[in-house]
Amino acid sequence: MATTYDSRTDTRALRSAPRPRNVVPALAQLLIYAGAAGVLGLWWMDTTSVTGTADWITGAGRITGLLAGYACAVLLALMSRFPLLERGVGSDRLARWHAMGGRYTVSLALAHTLLIIWGYSISAHTDVVSQTTTLVFHYPDLLKGTIGFLLLLATGVISARAARGRLRYETWHYLHFATYLAVFLAFFHQLSNGADFVGHRPAQLAWYALYIGVGALLVWCRFLTPLRRGLRHRLAVAEVRPESPGVVSVYVTGRHLDELGAEAGQFFRWRFLTRGLWWTANPYSLSAPAHPQYLRITVKAVGGHSAALAGLRPGTRVWAEGPYGAFTAARRSRRKVLLLGGGVGITPLRTLFETLPGDVTLIYRARRPEDLVLRGELDAIAHDRGAVVHYVVDEPAEYSSPLTARALRGLVPDLAGHDVYLCGPPGMTDAAIHALRRAGVPRRRIHHESFAF
């Protein structure tokens, strides 16, 4: 089931030179690794010699503790929603870094705990149970540190893929706030008991600077900036319009919307100030380019929050955090671009389809024809800019097409020379990445926006 328009007939074809490669992700990683090396330097400068089994084990415990403490600060910084990271790295990639870093952090904290108990018990010639009791109840702030460690461990458990899949986004999001308390408790334990900090004022000041800097970033980006923008723009629901079964578009108006600087492909975290919705802010992409008079999101009912949006009344106040994400034209490195979307993942792609320079092809996959959201708009955009759009549905079977390298090359013969913007459900996205790689598209030119949290 495909609709095709010949771009050669369009006299207004969009032309733009490829953009330079984004270096922000590489610089961010370099800074993280440099910081880790600096943290290891604290241990190196404070350790004159290591002799005996107890020293080796305790030294390993000190190193893992230092790295765990540093990693906690890095994890908070990654999720601070700092604009340079959000636009340069992208929320999706930051979330993956955060998830991977969280696993390392929990592992380091666990190793630190076990190694310190083991090393101290060898030095004191006592068993690990007695040594654990002594450490927890008789060392300064170590009871707080223990509580912080248990909270961090619990957060790691609920963030595991198997557990996360059973939680609503809102529940997972608020349980994750326990991380702040865990880091706060562990911070004071490190300064009170850490051999690399006790009596070492420069090291203490560096640690304070690291955590105060990250804390200030969190307060400014996640709390003060949304508050300031909410008061400035005074957003409110203007209209809720049905698009297809279970899908609605929400139009939001406000003041000075041009100051938000929202780009095609970006999203906001929306908080609707009405009963049942005010307490959580969920991420939804813009489904139309930002307009000076309104913003639009298009949402499918897949959970309690998204389903409730269909019942919003005009005039409902809205707080929007953003814009966030790097799923924008800045990622493009080739003139030819493929937009590959599935289900309601079409929303950020629809804005890119209208605004992205170059030769653009859109492949939109859905279960049934009636699930092709915003199809009328997509057809109009394709006609206006002389672009190509293919609709692929699973039902009826005669219009289905497998998500394979061969099938994609059949729709886009020179696929390997394209940039690809990909957005859809996790299963479809995984299959698409595999197919694109087999079709010869380099991973660096597959730009991915995930629905997973």
DSSP string, 391-445: EEESSSGGG----SHHHHHHHSTTGGGSEEEEEE-HHHHHHHHHHHHHTT--GGG
pLDDT attached to residue 167? 64
Does the domain made of 2-16+332-450 have the CATH classification 3.40.50.10310? Answer: no
Q: Which pLDDT value is given to residue 201?
A: 87
Bridge-based pairing of strands 317-324 and 235-244 is antiparallel
Closest C-alpha to 170, from 71, 308, 262, 311: 308
Q: What are the residue boundaries of the structural domains of the chain, listed by start?
A: 2-16+332-450, 24-228, 258-324
Q: Is the N-terminal amide bond of 323 cis, ω within 30° of 0?
A: yes
Q: Tell me, what's the pLDDT at 50?
A: 83
Report how far apart, in Å, the C-alpha atoms of 367 and of each of 316, 373, 406 are.
33, 11, 20
CA distance 421 to 449: 8
Amino acid present at 60: A
What are 316's two structure tokens?
A: 């409902």
The rounded distance, in Å, linking the Cα atoms of 304 and 215 is 32
DSSP of 352-365: HHHH--SEEEEEEE
- The helix (H) or strand (E) run that includes residue 204 is helix 201-219
Distance CA 20, CA 332 (A): 9
In angstroms, the CA 141 to CA 173 distance is 28
Q: What is the pLDDT along the chain (453 residues), one digit of tens a residue?
A: 443 333 333 333 334 444 556 788 899 999 999 999 999 998 888 887 788 899 999 999 999 999 999 999 999 999 888 988 888 888 878 888 988 998 899 999 999 999 999 999 999 999 989 999 988 888 887 888 888 888 888 877 777 665 566 666 666 666 777 788 888 888 888 887 777 887 788 888 999 999 999 999 999 998 898 889 889 999 999 999 999 888 999 999 999 999 998 999 999 999 999 988 888 888 899 999 999 999 999 998 777 777 889 899 999 999 998 898 888 888 888 899 999 999 888 999 999 999 998 899 999 999 888 889 999 999 999 999 999 999 998 887 776 788 999 999 999 999 999 999 999 888 899 999 999 999 999 998 999 876 444
CA distances from 234 to 3, 148, 313 (A): 41, 39, 16
Is residue 60 a contact partner of residue 417, using CB atoms and an 8 Å limit?
A: no
- Between CA 79 and CA 58 the distance in angstroms is 32
